[in-house]
Structure 1
């Protein structure tokens, strides 16, 4: 698209606009959580200096993990960036078709004919339907910095929609930095969406500026805008985590009826990353909104982490090494009592908001300096020993309180072997 110089020499007040300061309009409640999750791992997730670009073979495996865990749509790359990317994007689409995976392939591109043509060629070469996620910055601050004006943006959207129609690909209009875009600018952009018959639109919190109230205000205002014009549009939400709010903003978007909400595995992405796809899946599953295979999700994350060159923190929700471990005596007492009642579900929930069994794991009771007799009794019960030997329990606790780390199974075994 051509550029025209912005006549402003200093920023105007709307450059600093944010939807966080706008009250959400009253609206009839939308069907909550009817949308699906959109996996951006292989596109937006790779845009960080510390993330390793997987090989094609690894990307194919990641696609298999996506589908296996219940993801039904994904952004699989930026084919217009270079010939290698175009070839890989085509192979990923072919793989989805050949394996019969229930996964809709999307590809990203700018509002440049060359980018859109590259997406069209992926679909033609692979022989599958693909979706073009065509992005453009719309906020006043972006316009000011780039020396763009609103007519340039509107023209680019018209041309992109027409190009997608010619190439027979689904056009998804992606509005970068929509969270900091004024209603006046959005109105002008939305008018072009109506004019071009655009049916899908992605609202982006590109710099992670939104708070939940701001996300709600923007989504509700947008829904009302199109409803008032009798133009049905499926909204999508794409959030970043700069303020640590990507997850709650994304759950808000789902609750307000967004058709797709974007995320990346383990929340990878540039700066502070994107909304965490795995945390979105777990919350949706636990809330009964969608059914996901959380054991498959765990395998996905455990495969992707080393491939992408990231570590899963020990306390990372649901997936970290230590999140189902406790050494506190009060917690161990409750888990032991739940175990004695014979209910695996009860034991998995008494001191856990996420049942470990859903991820193929179990509650672990450790024995360390913070532990009490019930920690030892639970360990003995789980390993087939009697729990009525007070002397043995005392010896185990004495050893634990003398150390600086939890006792290992081997160390407890040695204490038992020498106790008699």
Structure 2
């Protein structure tokens, strides 16, 4: 069976930048946009042009700076928003307007003080108006996660009729469970007239830690695009993490899916976004956290040294990391100590290793981690000479180091 391509829609520069304190200037946005294009994303959501003159300028300059990747601008279902988005995209080689409106009962009643019929009217008008500026119009049904499936299907059918090319089904509040979200996508695929004409897109938030799982469930049930961010940054608890969904697809060939992402650029792209936004990546973050390929447990270290796959399902080189890290702590064993000593040019036999290990444990119990500098001090304390021989042990026995 032929593999199905999943398009990657990156919203780091729009939804990702909405994190408090995560303000990017135009120069930084262009730098990240160029990297996203090199990474291989299909669509870059460059910003929300009507929100500020600076965002308008950034979207415009990104359009000038990228050539292969589609550039998308967000708008509300408001004519002025759509018009400004269209103007900001005028230099894009492949422009897309992303417009939409809330569809859940909560949004209809409390946000818009409106009715379902009027919401559908506004949705239709937004899509029709956006088509005046670009051919590629994506419609978002905000809070689709909490929208009744029958009404959501009715909204989708109407915007397809008037020219939407992509329909985004956001789990705006991270409300859905994976099975529920997948069922929602499948319901739309099976019940919306004309659904074959457009792409369904996932846009999941991480309020309950389920953004990636929900996105995966979405594509397993027929969605063809995933909206995500580098490092999973975004409103509140963040968005689906690009690196997570991409590597899940890459590592699980039985899914029969693929993306166009050059995964070897993932790590460097993560660092770039973290540096520009000032948003540090948590140490245990999947794929890109500093601990993702680090091992401090003696049992794990011994296994990884013998064969990496014993405790790693992903080859670090696949995401642009040279090698796994063997971190020396009080939980480390002799295998890890010998490995790190070897890296420093000291090849210890069993007796020598036993001696160095006994000294190492005293240091390790007092520190969180033993650095190379401290390891050299330990080797010196064990009276290791320049020829890699232990001169004297505490019992005055000579031990050769091979």
Match of 1:384 in 2: 345
Query: What TM-score, normalized by structure 2, do the two folds share?
Result: 0.87
The Cα shift of 1:104 comes to 0.8
What's the Cα RMSD here? 2.1
Q: Distance in 2 between matches of 1:364 and 1:162?
A: 54
Match of 2:232 in 1: 267
1:168 to 1:321, Cα distance in 2 relative to 1, 3 A: closer
Contact 1:110 1:135 in 2 (8 A): yes
Q: Distance in 2 between matches of 1:129 and 1:314?
A: 37
The Cα shift of 1:54 comes to 0.9
1:415 to 1:174, Cα distance in 2 relative to 1, 3 A: same
Match of 1:404 in 2: 367
The Cα shift of 1:283 comes to 1.9
CA deviations on 1:73-119 (whole Å, 9 max, x unpaired) are 1211111223332222111101113xxxx311111001111111112
RCO comparison, higher one (Cα < 8 Å, 6+) = 1
Q: Distance in 2 between matches of 1:163 and 1:114?
A: 10
Q: Distance in 2 between matches of 1:167 and 1:395?
A: 71
Q: Distance in 2 between matches of 1:365 and 1:84?
A: 45
Contact 2:228 2:242 in 1 (8 A): yes
Q: Distance in 2 between matches of 1:224 and 1:94?
A: 40
1:308 to 277, 281, 298: 277
Q: 2:383 aligned with 1:413, yes or no?
A: no
Match of 1:357 in 2: 317
CA deviations on 1:242-278 (whole Å, 9 max, x unpaired) are 1110010111122223121101111111111111112
Q: Distance in 2 between matches of 1:294 and 1:190?
A: 33
Matched ranges for 1:4-43 at <5 A? 34-43=5-14
1:364 to 1:142, Cα distance in 2 relative to 1, 3 A: same
The Cα shift of 1:396 comes to 3.4
Match of 2:191 in 1: 225
Matched ranges for 1:88-167 at <5 A? 88-97=58-67, 102-124=68-90, 126=91, 128-145=93-110, 146-167=112-133
CA deviations on 1:262-312 (whole Å, 9 max, x unpaired) are 011111111111111121222222234335333311111111112112111
1:330 to 1:55, Cα distance in 2 relative to 1, 3 A: same
2:262 to 271, 285, 293: 293
1:242 to 1:383, Cα distance in 2 relative to 1, 3 A: same
Indicate the SS of the match to 1:42: coil
Q: Distance in 1 between matches of 2:5 and 2:360?
A: 53
Q: 2:245 aligned with 1:284, yes or no?
A: no
How many residue pairs get aligned? The number is: 375
1:68 to 1:230, Cα distance in 2 relative to 1, 3 A: closer
Match of 1:85 in 2: 55
Match of 1:76 in 2: 46
Query: What TM-score, normalized by structure 1, do the two folds share?
Result: 0.83
Q: Distance in 2 between matches of 1:127 and 1:310?
A: 29
Contact 2:71 2:89 in 1 (8 A): no
Q: 2:42 aligned with 1:53, yes or no?
A: no
Match of 1:344 in 2: none
Contact 2:136 2:165 in 1 (8 A): no
Q: Distance in 1 between matches of 2:327 and 2:233?
A: 31
Indicate the SS of the match to 2:197: coil
Q: Distance in 1 between matches of 2:269 and 2:196?
A: 38
1:373 to 306, 309, 334: 334
The Cα shift of 1:328 comes to 2.1
Q: Distance in 1 between matches of 2:183 and 2:250?
A: 26
Q: Distance in 2 between matches of 1:395 and 1:195?
A: 74
1:336 to 1:82, Cα distance in 2 relative to 1, 3 A: closer
Structure 2: stretches of 5+ with no match in the other structure: 385-390, 392-402
1:241 to 201, 206, 230: 206
Contact 1:367 1:400 in 2 (8 A): no
Indicate the SS of the match to 1:375: helix
Q: Distance in 2 between matches of 1:317 and 1:194?
A: 37
The Cα shift of 1:319 comes to 1.6
